[in-house]
Amino acid sequence: MSPGDLRVQYEELRRRWGPVAPVEILPGVAAWLLLDHQAALEVIWNERLFSSDARRWNAVTDGRLAADVPLLAMLGWRPAVSRLDLQEHRRQRQAVTDVLDHIDPRRLRRVVQQQADRLIDHWAPRASADLVADYTRPLAWAVFAHLLGFSPESIPALEALVNAATDTADDARYAEAELLEAVRRLLNARVTTPRADLASWMAHATTLTDVEIAHNLAQILYFGAPGTINWVGNALRLLLSDRHVNASVATGRLTPSDVLDQTLMDDPPVPNIAGRWATQDIMFAGHAIHAGDLLIPCLVAANTDPAIHGSGAVHTRTRAHLAWGTGAHGCPAKDMARLIAEAAMDVALRRLAELRPAIPDSVVATRQSLWCSGPVALPVVFSPTDPEQHTEALHELPAALPVPERTRIAEAAPGEAPKRWGWWNSMTGW
């Protein structure tokens, strides 16, 4: 389904229900879909009336939702920054932000550029590629695995687990448990041997518990790699399919960053924000919302709301989109994500001369779920070029941040018991 098809559906829902529409996200699982930009803002901003804490969900508290429903992998409660409110949210957000601040933007850009060049070196001479399978997917997973501290060999398993959870497959809850177990093993290793990665900094430079760290790192995997794959994929698709955009980039009227912004507006890689829950019975946008009802801000609909999108030229640069969220729950890693996406776009456009689609855009399949939207494949052709030999010149990616100087073990008070993994607590969900 194309972004245009979705806009038609959302317009039909707006005409029938107004800014908030009752929907089923699974058979028998009701929710309110927020179609209006202002309605989405009100729900995102107002923590007092609309909570991020999924333990409020009346479908669960009333026993109407099975404990193993696939949606709980993404909508269920977890002790992570995205699922907390008020002081607990601020405490974790500050810890996560402090750790992300240790990433050197210049080093991170170099990581992305070097991995992107290596990938292109493999297929540049053949003058054709699938920009998803051959570029955006391996690039995003290599960069995020490297940042967190996972080995390249672990990437296929991590990717499979994240896909199962974000696609809300039947084994989503099992995939979530396996992913958390993989993070736990990584953290155990970094407690004794810190390295230049986010896992080490989270373990040694924050006061978060082990379980909190594991869930926050898992959240980066859930949204970081898939979001980057789909964001860059959607931007490249726009560039390939829209002659106006292509010509504007070629003549310098638009930059790759502009194309990325337009994509966030028209075709965001994460179509929906993963839920808010009403804290009390209220009337909202003409509807009776009950305490514990699930509300889902639909970014695709809100970003294309005529009230902000207008009827003029659609390719004017704007950052009025809600792709990063906003307010207290705005994405703490948005600057890092933008840097990665911009570097990926820059390398692709620098290396791939006369880039053009190999198939019509109308037959490009889209991966659609509540939490992911991007091309399944993006076949292209371009002018053949010789490799630049990045593969041979570099054996491993450079570090994007330093090794923590002081360790948690060294700072522990004499006789203090180490943190223990109450791992069963993290898997109960409710």
pLDDT, one tens digit per residue, over 158-201 is 999 998 887 766 788 889 999 999 999 999 999 999 999 999 99
Single-letter code of the amino acid located at 110: R
> Looking at per-residue confidence, does 115 or 6 come out higher?
115
Integer angstrom CA distances of residue 103 from 87, 106, 221, 311: 25, 9, 17, 40
Is 229 a residue whose pLDDT tops 70? yes
pLDDT tens, 276-309? Answer: 999 999 999 999 999 999 999 998 888 877 777 5
Percent of the chain with pLDDT over 90: 62
Greater confidence (150 vs 28) lies with 150
Q: What is the mean pLDDT of residues 132-148?
A: 97
What is the set of domains in the chain, with CATH numbers?
Answer: 1-73+271-322 (3.30.43.20), 78-267+323-428 (1.10.630.10)
Contact between 111 and 342 under an 8 Å Cβ cutoff? The reply is: no
pLDDT in tens, 304-341: 777 775 544 444 445 566 767 666 777 788 899 999 99
Q: Where does 352-384 have alpha helices with state H?
A: none
Q: Which residue has the higher pLDDT, 421 or 213?
A: 213
pLDDT score, position 314: 45
Is 109 exposed, middle or buried (CB count within 10 Å of its CB: 0-12, 13-18, 19+)?
Answer: middle
Task: Spell out a b/e string for 146-162, using b for 16 or more CB atoms within 10 Å of the CB, else e.
Answer: bbbbbeeebbeebbebb
CB 268 within 8 A of CB 299: yes
Note the pLDDT of residue 395.
58
343, 349, 352, 358 alpha-carbon torsion, rounded to 10°? 110
The answer to whether residues 99 and 202 touch, using CB atoms and an 8 Å cutoff, is: yes
Q: What is the mean pLDDT of residues 361-374?
A: 88
- Please report the pLDDT score of residue 2 as a whole number: 57
pLDDT for the residue numbered 408? 60
3-class DSSP state of 272: strand
Q: Which DSSP state fits 206?
A: -
265-274: b (≥16 Cβ within 10 Å) or e: bbbbbbbbbb
Higher per-residue confidence, 70 vs 41: 41
pLDDT class for 135, splitting at 50, 70, 90?
A: very high
**What is the pLDDT, as a whole number, of residue 309?**
57
